[in-house]
Structure 1
Amino acid sequence: MGMTLYLKHASQIDLARYAREGVEGEDLGVLVEAGFADRHAARLKELELLYVADEGRAAFSTTAREMLFDHLDLLRRRGSGRMRVSSPSEPVLDLHGAWRMLHFLFTGDAFEGALPAATLLAGGREVGEDLGYGPPRMLSIDETAAFSRFLEALDLDALAGRLDARAMKSLGYHCGEEAELRAELARYFPRLKAFVAAAAARRQGMLIWML
């Protein structure tokens, strides 16, 4: 099970509450399972060993390692069991693992990049508790609008032309061949573009988080 990135529309009232009180579990409206941290850690270590064997080097940089591993113990300390939080009042978009490819196509980098291109990984301000891969981030109305304008200027065919599985693997991505990446791009990019555009049109912000 890989890291999944979620986005959620947030009204002006919600944004003010998040800024004042932070984000609670019921604000996310997704299934939280305490045991997933152990499975994620095991899978990440497995991928790293595969890269060492296949590429002759470690899969993750020091910065990436810190980002992926430092906070896994937090979830382990929360105990076992499952908690179903309430359904969100605003729409939620699940990008699954496609955020890696999308961020690379938007920025040309694995984890870095300038805003608004790097919004998926770096946009907004942190609010609430660490979920294992960092706290949720809140995008203001203006930041959401800026990201929407950035996405609106992008073309699916042009993005497909930037796909380079070899370059992505050299940055530490565990990804399939370009045909698989093209199918994933065709599925998730239009959804992301429409989702962010809908929030911007309604003068809303967003929450972004990973599980």
Structure 2
Amino acid sequence: LISGNVFSEEPDESTTNDIRSSLLQFAQEHGADALHRRLRDVDPEAAASIHPNNIRRVARALEIYLKTGMTKTSWDAKSRSGENALPALVIGLRFADRNLHRHIIMKRCEKMFDTGLVDEVRRLYEEGKLATGTASQAIGYKEIIPYILGQSSREEVLTSLYTATCQYAKRQETWFRRRDYVHWIDVDDYATGIKPFADLIHLAEDICFGNS
């Protein structure tokens, strides 16, 4: 994934950051409604689907327009059609067994908690980098902050982190399921170590060269 899209053509990161910062600064100075009006002027359909108070999504929609010259509505339609900048084979990995998927997510949350996430969030919080902004709302950070402030237990943190991660995984899968060009592979057996990774390569070759 590149900037949230499959093989998308986008300017360099410094340009992206400059545009985003400018839009967020505009919202801070003129208000969320003013930023939303800017979006409505160039992309009424996207504006109708995004609440004015959701500044991050409004800014992202404007960012797409300012970087590419395409509205978010047109960009999304192009993305769904599979028109990528480069010829690509896109393979989506999924779990047929939802319970196994949830179990793996929980184990990942526990590992993150026990192997450095708490220390990382504490350091960033003490440096004042999580006081406001996108970082403080990132999955993992926003759940840990109450813990380092003594406002929640390890179990409560893991529950909220697990829930947020499951919801995010669901949104990701839903996004990709709308893309007709994605070839889906169930990976339940890989997670339990039954099949070798080479099987994935063979599946990719079958799809690319029509050997199946």
Q: How does the TM-score come out when normalised to structure 1?
A: 0.31
Structure with more strand by fraction: 1
Task: Indicate the structure with greater helix content.
Answer: 2
The structure that has the greater radius of gyration is 2
* Larger relative contact order, structure 1 or 2 (CA cutoff 8 Å, min sep 6): 1
